[in-house]
Chains A and B, each alone.
Chain A
Amino acid sequence: MSEYLLCLFLFCIGLYCVLRKRNIIKIIIGLGIIEYAVNLFFVLVGYRIHGRAPILAKEQKILNMVDPLPQALVLTAIVIGLAVTALIVAIAIRIYEKYGTFDITKIRRLRG
């Protein structure tokens, strides 16, 4: 149970970071923390104590195995997260070129 609560705690740290920080690089890091928290939670869902990998071999019986599906899904989610982070970092670099600052309160040309 405590593992799940820690995941939730990590998620909240990430959310706080996205909502409250003024530096856009820190916001991107906060986004990364949120993604890790969700991925960690997803892996934990499929975990069993003393479980082993479900590899089917001759003359072996697997009694207690870890659910492999969440691991495969998390692998996909990590790749998606990588793509998002790469894109946002690229945009952040361009923003720095245009505005000369990373401070989100000074990047305000859109209003209304």
Chain B
Amino acid sequence: MILPFFVIIPLACAFLISLLGKLNKRISDIFANLGTFTLLILSLSAIRYQLFAKVIVYRVGGWPPPIGISMVLDGLSSFILMSVNLVSFLVCLYSVSYMNKYTDKYRFHSLFMLMLAGMNGVIVTGDLFNLFVFLEIASISSYALVAFGTEAEELEASFKYAIMGSVASSFILLGIALLYSYTSTLNMADMGSVLLSRGNSLLVNFISVLFLMGFGLKAALVPFHAWLPDAHPSAPASISAMLSGVLIKVLGVYALMRIYFNILGINNIILSIFMFLGAASMLVGVILALGQWDFKRLLAYHSISQIGYIILGIGLGSPLGILAGLFHLFNHSIFKSLLFLNSGAVAYRLGTRDLQDMGGLKERMPTTANTNLVASLSIAGIPPFNGFFSKFLIIVACIQSRQIIYGICAVIASILTLASFMKVQKYAFFGKLNKKWQDIKEVPGIMQLSMVVLAVLCLVSALLITPLFKPYLESAVNVLLLGRGYNKAVFGALK
């Protein structure tokens, strides 16, 4: 049984690092990298397990569900686990050199592993309250990580993020309490079948609004997005890559999908709300990004915009739309973490995030400039790279479902994204070299390595849509299309 190890390994690493990290500086690096590497291997082997036996259920403590807590691995969880653990491994590799400029590096690694434990827990759990606990583990460690630099701006951003995140968590807990009182079970599969037999009621609608508020805030959808542009740029670059790359997707988008499709049951009203919020996030995010001169803040606004694409794709509700949304989720986690790592590399040598202050860095930092070019082309949707295929599929799915207006919104947002990244390229990497930066060097090798790997992945992950790998993506889509049949899949796997 590999399922519990997704939580046990990062938790054990966090514990050991905080215990032994003080003794030697290298210990925390070794433990954290070994831990994330093992998790990457485990999530690769989870694909194989999952393809053999569609759904795997692990009973925590030997108690059978619905009484005990269960952990469930199906197509969707294995897909999201893969993207989380891939990004976290590369980011952990990057922070070996990058985090040297901060003191107390072992505390950083300890919190990082704790956040990873929370995210993996949210993905594999099959119990609604357990999901809340893991969500809070991931959130609390991310509040602490945003404030890691303890400068004035970082503390302010972390305070804002912590207050909004905690209010969102309270809404989620209230929703769980109401749902428990209505169904008297906490197992997600069982809850789905009880709700199916009771039919729809006003209380269920109220609960879905509570969850939309709570998880929508965690996902930074547009009316709830105010914390993201402060919190994500303030964190150290490797943490920004984790927050924008995977955290908002796991705590927000994944939880939304799982709860709405498999537990509460999806209907046209919720789908149209998703589509509207997605389109609004897409446009508002990208328009706000156009005027930014702070490199990381610009990227943070683009995160809002790209989350809009994902939610729009999923909100279409058609098989192609969900497939495109999930595909974009994976692609976005790759190129957005690469962009944040690039901004970290620039800040590592220059110490500034202001685009107007840079210029001509291509001569001095060729690896950073080239990988950034690849990532910018991916996010803007230029053909050979992965971003093109997923955006194109989203637009095709919009037209297929006769949502022409949303399709046009997606095209406009894509053009504006391209404009905004042309600005980044022009001011930061092309043009004349600023006199101040005459004798800067390229970043250390290990940081270059992880950026190059991510850039290669930008190209390679476009293959996910080819017939060879498509069944993997489709097995994730099928879980969502199954709806409340999730119950049968989970309890069928127990027999």
Contacts and interface: CB of A to CB of B under 8 A. Distances in A.
Nearest to A93: B155
B363 interface: no
Interface string A9-22: 00100010010000
A58 B192 CA distance: 37
Interface residues of A, number: 33
A42 B181 CA distance: 9
B166 A24 contact: no
Interface string B125-153: 00001001100100010011001001111
B2 interface: no
Given A31-B166, A70-B180, A84-B166, A24 B133 contact: no
Interface in B228-258: 229-230, 234
Contact of A41 (B147, B150, B174): B174
B229 A112 contact: yes
Given A24-B159, A91-B162, A95-B156, A41 B144 contact: no
Contacts of B229: 112
A101 B120 CA distance: 39
B181 A91 contact: no
A109 B152 contact: yes
A87 B143 contact: yes
A28 to B, nearest CB: 8
A110 interface: yes
Contacts, number: 93
B157 interface: yes
A80 B136 contact: yes
B353 interface: no
B163 A107 contact: no
Contacts of A38: 170, 173-174, 177
A47 B41 CA distance: 47
A87 B140 contact: yes
Contacts of A107: 156, 159
Contacts of B181: 45
B294 interface: yes
B320 to A, nearest CB: 37
A77 B173 contact: yes
Contacts of A69: 180, 186
A110 B170 contact: no
Residue of A27, A45, A94 contacting most chain B CB atoms (<10 Å): A94
A98 B152 contact: yes
Contacts of A15: 167
Give the dominant DSSP class at B's interface: helix
Interface in B267-292: 288, 291-292
Given A27-B163, A70-B177, A84-B166, A91 B152 contact: no
Interface string A64-108: 000001100100110010011001100110110011000000011
Interface in A20-66: 24, 27, 31, 34-35, 38, 41-42, 45
Given A77-B173, A80-B133, A88 B153 contact: no
B152 A99 contact: yes
B78 interface: no
A110 B156 contact: yes
A88 B155 contact: no
Contact of A95 (B155, B170, B177): B155
B163 A109 contact: no
B5 to A, nearest CB: 23
B376 interface: no
A31 B163 contact: yes
A110 B157 contact: yes
Given A73-B129, A110-B230, A87 B144 contact: yes
A55 to B, nearest CB: 18
Contacts of B294: 112
Nearest to B181: A45
28 contacts: A18-B163, A24-B159, A34-B170, A35-B166, A38-B173, A38-B174, A42-B173, A42-B180, A73-B180, A76-B133, A77-B173, A80-B136, A84-B140, A84-B162, A87-B162, A88-B143, A88-B163, A91-B155, A91-B162, A92-B159, A94-B150, A95-B155, A95-B159, A98-B152, A109-B152, A112-B229, A112-B288, A112-B292
Interface of A: 11, 15, 18, 24, 27, 31, 34-35, 38, 41-42, 45, 69-70, 73, 76-77, 80, 83-84, 87-88, 91-92, 94-95, 98-99, 107-110, 112
Given A31-B163, A110-B234, 9 more contacts: A35-B166, A38-B177, A70-B177, A73-B180, A91-B159, A99-B152, A108-B156, A112-B229, A112-B294
Q: What are the 6 closest A-B residue pairs judged by CB atoms, nearest first?
A: A98-B152, A45-B181, A42-B177, A80-B136, A110-B230, A34-B170
